[in-house]
Amino acid sequence: MPIGKSILAKGEREEQVEDLIRLSRLAIARSWALLARVGHPGRHLLGRATVARGETMTGEELELKHAVEDTLKAPASLSYTAPVRHMFGTIIWEGRVSVFDVDGHATATRAYAWISGLAGARQSHVVLHKAGIIGPADAVRAQLMGDGAEPRF
């Protein structure tokens, strides 16, 4: 037997390979999520690879998925979730924005969604990816500014 080779049953090798694949996918997902957080210029290229296979959505992400699908009348899949802080001299809004890939919608292939308000008066917001809105921070800014007037809180 060559040096460095170990004797493993076929099932054990397959299990180790599956574990390595799972860990690799998780590392890739975390890397892409970090790039999205720091405003990487290629953040618009982030897609399905940012969520590793087998990961589950949180309850809030699932609630947002339903809000996107109900609003757009098209199926959506979670791409990633990014923290956003919008400042206007002081912090106006801070939270997490979920980014969804949308299939079968006439004008949008991506949507941004988040929940604002307190537990008793929560409101979900859905903003389409379009010219001028190319990321989670842009979506929050557009929602806060409304039609370009004074910020809405």
Residue 112 lies in a domain: yes
**149 band by pLDDT with thresholds 50, 70 and 90:** very low
pLDDT recorded at residue 8: 56
Instruction: Please give the structure tokens belonging to residue 86.
Output: 């919008």
Domains in the chain, number: 1
For residue 91, list its beta bridge partners: 87
Q: List phi, psi (to 5°) of 27.
A: -65, -40
Residue 115 lies in a domain: yes
pLDDT surpasses 60 at 13? yes
Residue 153 lies in a domain: no
**Domain, as residue range, for 114:** 32-145
Q: Is the pTM of this model over 0.75?
A: no
pLDDT recorded at residue 7: 60
pLDDT recorded at residue 125: 92
Residue 67 lies in a domain: yes
Residue 9 lies in a domain: no
Residue 11 lies in a domain: no
